[in-house]
Amino acid sequence: MATCLVLTAPRTLEFAVTEHRPLRDGEVRLRTLVSGISHGTELNLYRGTAPFATRSFDPQLRVFVPSEESSRTAKLGYDLVGEVVEVGPGVDGVAVGDILHTGQAHQEEPIVALDAHTDFYPPCKLPRTHVERGLFVSLASVALQAVHDARIKVGDAVVVSGAGVIGQLVAQLARMNGADPVAVVEPHAERRNLAVRLGAAEALDPTAGDQPIGYQVKKALGNRGADIAIETSGTYPGLHGAIASVGVGGTVVAAGFYQGGAADLRLGEEWHHNRPNLVSSMGVWGCPHRDHPLWNRARIARTVVDLIYSDRLVVEPLLTDRVPFRQAPKAYERLDNDPASALKIALTY
């Protein structure tokens, strides 16, 4: 029997048996090889701090409304790599033995509808080698979306707030896009050192010294603000620091999943005085790419797969831990207590 991981209440994970049914037209069955835990979205759902804990999103009005179904169980995960073990009728271009990345939740034997419309993380074929690289397709898609939303020009000074997986990928992609210099803001020394090894010109500690991080960034950039700040930490201090780091009329791209109130976001300070542009970077939930129809989720995914497997986007150092699938609850508990204890945790099957 195949199983999946289910969140039944905040900080409560259980394993459930999945239905083993015949495949329908256009479907394939996978044997999961590895799946990755997201520090942002998944931990927010795990903790019960995401808005979905008490509300649901009305897709027509595009507003959150109170929900009586807030206590329903949920599956976690959206970065899964598996081998095709069965092909249903009407499937073309995918064969048994192929390796696919899909935005499926953590589970042993997912069924994937290849032709179903999705604006989340569409299934895409991967090379047969370096399977674990496929764990970064979804997060690299988030990073590429943020860089596209930033509209980076050659020579732009860019600061990346947060050096988790998405921040590390954003810093690399910003440099590919012509940003120079790229600075990273991150409180943890190991992550700062990794960002520099991967090409960042500066890696600043927002907790060091007597001056706020906006001041530190501007001094490091020659007494001027960054042209663009991309905020990936999903924290309000990080967002406030990103706003304070850009010059007059600069751009701040918010790529994090922010939770709750915003006591640390003081809009009467640099926001009010420097008139920056704040851009929400969101490529799912029915939000088309800003260059749609030229770009969409499928093209984003194909692009990051090409970048990762051609060694232009470096991901291997970002995978720091491997945990058996059956020990997933302990992995979530660990990240809940100490998010900085790992960059990317892979669940192995």
The reply to whether the predicted model has a pTM over 0.75 is: yes
**What angle do helix axes 236-245 and 213-220 make, rounded to 10 degrees?**
40
pLDDT, position 4: 96
Exposure letters 282-316 (e unless 16+ CB within 10 A, then b)? ebbeeeebeeeeebebebbbebbbebbbeeebbbe
Hunting for tokens 């009728």 — which residue is that?
89
Helix (H) or strand (E) holding 111: strand 111-113
Closest CA relative to residue 164, chosen from 328, 318, 338, 332 = 318
Note the CATH number of domain 3-129+315-348: 3.90.180.10
Report the alpha-carbon distance of residue 13 to residue 296 in Å, rounded.
33
- CATH 3.40.50.720 in the chain, residues? 141-280
Closest CA relative to residue 127, chosen from 152, 90, 153, 97 = 97
Which residue ranges in the chain fall short of pLDDT 50?
none
- Please check whether residue 346 is in contact with residue 323, taking contact to mean a CB–CB distance below 8 angstroms: yes
| SS3 label, residue 251 | strand
Hunting for tokens 């600043």 — which residue is that?
204
Instruction: Please name the CATH architecture into which domain 141-280 falls.
Output: 3-Layer(aba) Sandwich (3.40)
- Please check whether residue 232 is in contact with residue 240, taking contact to mean a CB–CB distance below 8 angstroms: no
Quickly count: other Cβ atoms within 10 Å of residue 59's Cβ.
9
- Please check whether residue 241 is in contact with residue 215, taking contact to mean a CB–CB distance below 8 angstroms: no
Residues 6+ apart with CB under 8 A from 62: 286
pLDDT, position 25: 95
Structure tokens at 52: 């979905």
Order of strands, sheet of 3-9, starting from the edge strand that comes earlier in the sequence: 12-17, 3-9, 74-75
Report the alpha-carbon distance of residue 314 to residue 285 in Å, rounded.
28
- CATH 3.90.180.10 in the chain, residues? 3-129+315-348
What CA–CA distances, in Å, run from 301 to 95, 145, 221, 313?
20, 10, 33, 13
Residue 293: asked if its preceding bond is cis (omega within 30°), the reply is: yes
